[in-house]
Amino acid sequence: MKQIRNTQAKTEILNLFDKTENALSHSEIQERLDGLCNRVTIYRVLERLEKEGEIHKIVNVDGVINYAKCHHCEKDRHSHNHLHFNCEKCKHVTCIENIVPQIKLPENFIAHSYNFVISGICPKCKSLATN
């Protein structure tokens, strides 16, 4: 496997996120890059992109970590405490950014982030089932 510079891998991974509406798992990213870089490079780039406020992590209902493009985040402050929808059929994870659940924790609890994942059937799979 040809080794490529991390910056080239970063560019290609960002391009993947720009071209998809769904969150991507590490294995989906590796498959779509089609041998462009190895799995360790992908992990490093994903970690760097998360630190830079470009992407955020989502743990789906199966425990798989997915990554999605940040739209309103900054390098030092992620603001992705929105809903995520995990389709039970196609397994796609979608950010639903216009819904932000309000949480009221008991006294003396401090939340830094949270992850809401709703499991169900996405519109695409629903329409396939009715046809």
What is the number of H-type helices and E-type strands within the chain?
Answer: 4, 6
- Whether 2 shows a pLDDT value over 50: the answer reads no
Sign of the CA dihedral with 109 first, then 57, 25, and 118 last: positive
Q: Which tokens go with 78?
A: 């992620």
pLDDT of residue 46: 95
Q: Are 12 and 3 in contact (CB under 8 A)?
A: no
The pLDDT confidence band at residue 5, using thresholds 50, 70 and 90, is: low
Residue 73 marked in a binding site: no
Answer yes or no: are the C-beta atoms of 16 and 52 closer than 8 Å. no
pLDDT in tens, 61-120: 888 899 988 876 655 666 667 788 999 999 899 888 777 778 889 999 988 777 788 999
- Token code pair at residue 3: 């080794």
The per-residue pLDDT for 66 is 93
Annotated binding residue at 122?
A: yes
SS3 label, residue 36: coil
Model-level pTM?
0.76
Mind listing the domains of the chain with CATH numbers? 6-130 (1.10.10.10)
Q: Is 37 annotated as a binding residue?
A: no
pLDDT digits (tens, 9 = 90+) for 32-75: 999 888 999 999 999 999 888 889 888 888 888 999 888 766 55
For residue 7, the model assigns a pLDDT of 83
